[in-house]
Amino acid sequence: MPLRSLLAIVWISTGIFSIYIATFYGGAILAGTLEKDWNEVLPRLYEPGAIAAATMIGMHFIAGSSVLLLGPLQFIPALRARHPRLHRWTGRVYLVSALLAGIGGLAYLALKGAVGGIVMEIGFGLYGVLTVLAALQAWRHAAARRLDLHRAWAIRLFALGIGSWLYRMYYGIWLKGLGGAGHTGTFDGPFDMTMSFFFYVPNLLVAEYFIRRQSTPAFSMPRRVLGQAGIVALVLVLLAATWLFAHAYWLPHIGRRLAPLFA
């Protein structure tokens, strides 16, 4: 139950966030406000004339929103058991989206670099490489019917896929709770450099915990209890954070972007 609750709140939160990404960043293309909107969070994300870089980061955003929406679907046992064909097709779209998101991000880094400098480039570059690797490995093992290995790589890919959502969550909590200590406008402060890796490395450690728990029947009871207690605490934190972000930021931005459609 704790794990199912965690999956549910992650799906709800990432679902809202993915809609925000698609409407805010994708809507900026239609509205012609790329320079204003895209640079609101990360400076120099879009620069007039850098068409190739803008295309790659746009692909990263759109494919990434699909990754966030489809990721939790892959871990619903009833879907896999009752609708295996649907599971396979959504899984294929999920893996292709992860590949496009990873390739788009890596291409953007190669074309423009990261606003925060070399540390951010290394951190985000490693993130992109790991995402592409996990997607390819999950696909390869699924095609060979090595389902245990496929599931392990799918868990790792999911842990990486939610990184973009957690990156925004961590920054929002840090800026609101601690006033942004260690953060600079050029994303090269101590906190920024730490975040270049922190938004996905802990996720992978948690993923390895779940993979080993499933593959080890004699997984000790104390470790199970501690793990479940940690999941419950995480669910409560994510519930509070999701409500705050959705209420204060994501939903208002979605509403403003969609309002002209219903005017």
Percent of the chain residues past pLDDT 70, beyond the cut: 93
DSSP structure class, residue 258: H
Q: What band does 225 get if pLDDT is binned at 50, 70 and 90?
A: low
- CB neighbour list of residue 229: distance below 8 Å, 6 or more residues apart: none
Q: Which residue has the higher pLDDT, 222 or 13?
A: 13
**Would the pTM of this model clear 0.75, i.e. be above it?**
yes
C-alpha to C-alpha distances, 84 to 51, 74, 214, 231, 236, nearest whole angstrom: 40, 11, 21, 28, 32
Least confident of 34-48, 199-213, 243-257: 34-48
Tokens 């759109």, located at residue: 62
Structure confidence at residue 221 (pLDDT): 46
Q: Which residue has the higher pLDDT, 49 or 190?
A: 190
Contact yes or no for 9/239 (Cβ under 8 A): yes
Average pLDDT over the chain reads 87
Contact yes or no for 142/80 (Cβ under 8 A): no
User: pLDDT per residue over 169-189, tens digit each?
Assistant: 898 888 888 888 999 988 999
Average pLDDT of the residues in 94-120: 95
User: pLDDT per residue over 49-98, tens digit each?
Assistant: 888 998 999 999 999 999 999 988 888 888 888 888 998 999 999 999 99
Q: What band does 217 get if pLDDT is binned at 50, 70 and 90?
A: low
C-alpha to C-alpha distances, 29 to 101, 199, 259, nearest whole angstrom: 18, 27, 16
Pairwise CA distance, residues 210 & 231, whole Å: 11
Residue 154 pLDDT exceeds 90: yes
